[in-house]
């Protein structure tokens, strides 16, 4: 089983995150360049997280062979080095105790594996840690799959931005949670988090 970790973004992750950004949001990725992410990591009002997997590969580029740990300590097997592969990312900025979700992006081939939902869970938890009361976002009017996920986690439609997306002029739906520190929200959120963890034990959150 492949194992995934959700953790804070680091500078070394930026090139891969830019790749995912371009792939997940074609036509809009140019507004989130590598230099933009570098600035984000220095901005105390912005939080970025990534989902990654650790793979082993030979320095020669050959496909890694899984071996017992004691064999990897000797001979040419020491050439096996861990390498993180970023499969998704999420980011939000904080203003006046509101966390505004910038984007959740997952690589093609890694979708429908619970990674996007895991990133959303981690985003909400991180928003709580920075004392945000609500989480808001914009989502394409046509992206009903994402809207369904957000509604599952307590987001409600609160408005619409006509022709918000510059690539094609599509409208954006504005969605927002109730107070994420309230007992009703927390009861629902913790139950959803528990169910997700049971379904996806391969996904580990390490945002603290």
State the catalytic residues. 138, 150
Beta carbons of 2 and 204 less than 8 angstroms apart: no
Counting every residue written for the chain, the total comes to: 208
Phi, psi torsion values for 9, nearest 5 degrees: -70, 145
Query: Which tokens is 14 given?
Result: 């930026």
Q: For 75, left (φ over 0), alpha (ψ -120 to 50), or beta?
A: left
DSSP string, 73-134: TSGGGGGEEEEEEEEEEEEEEEETTEEEEEEEEE-TTSTTSSHHHHHHHHHHHHHHHTT-SE
Q: Under DSSP, is residue 66 helix (H, G, I), strand (E, B) or coil?
A: coil
């Amino acid at each position: 089983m492949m194992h995934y970790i959700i953790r804070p973004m680091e500078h070394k992750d930026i090139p891969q995150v830019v790749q995912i950004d371009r792939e997940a949001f074609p036509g809009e990725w140019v507004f989130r360049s590598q230099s933009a992410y570098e600035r984000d990591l220095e901005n105390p009002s912005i939080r970025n997280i990534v989902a990654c997997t650790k793979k082993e590969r030979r320095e020669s580029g050959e496909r890694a062979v899984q071996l017992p740990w004691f064999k990897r300590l000797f001979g040419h097997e020491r050439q096996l080095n861990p390498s993180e592969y970023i499969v998704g990312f999420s980011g939000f900025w904080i203003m006046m105790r509101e966390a505004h979700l910038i984007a959740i992006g997952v690589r093609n081939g890694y979708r429908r594996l619970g990674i996007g939902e895991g990133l959303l869970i981690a985003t909400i938890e991180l928003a709580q840690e920075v004392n945000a009361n609500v989480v808001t976002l914009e989502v394409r009017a046509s992206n009903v799959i994402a809207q369904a996920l957000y509604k599952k986690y307590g987001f409600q439609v609160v408005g619409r931005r006509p022709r918000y997306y510059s690539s094609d002029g599509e409208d954006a739906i504005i969605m927002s949670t109730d107070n994420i520190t309230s007992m009703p929200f927390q009861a629902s959120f913790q139950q959803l988090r528990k169910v997700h963890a049971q379904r996806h034990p391969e996904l580990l959150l390490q945002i603290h």
